[in-house]
Structure 1
Amino acid sequence: FDLKSTRQIVTPKIDPSTFNHSAGSHRQTYSRSHRRCRAPPLLPTPVLPSDHRIIIDYLKQFIREDPKFDQVELLQPVVPSISPPVIFSGEVRKRKRGRKPKMKVHLDDCYRGMEIVNKNGVAVDLNVLSMVEHPFEAEIARRTEGLSKEDELLGFLSDLVGQWGSRRRKRRIVDAADFGDVLPLGWKLLLSLKRKDGRAWIYCRRYI
Structure 2
Amino acid sequence: QATSIDAVLKDAGLESKIMEVPKKSGDVTKNNNDLTNDLLQPIRKTRDNILHKEHILQDRSAECDMDIQIILTEGKMTAKVLAIMEKYKATSSNMMEVANPSCCGDGDKTRRNKRKTLKEVLLHNKCQELNEICYDIKCIAPRYTVLPSPEDGMFHANVRFTCPGYDMSITGGPHQTPDGARCSAAANLITELHKKAAEEEQQEDDANIPS
Give the TM interval when normalised to the shorter protein.
under 0.3
Larger Rg: 1
In terms of fraction of residues, the more helix-rich structure is 2
TM score, norm. by length of structure 1: 0.19
Q: TM-score, normalised by structure 2?
A: 0.18
Q: Which has the higher strand share?
A: 1
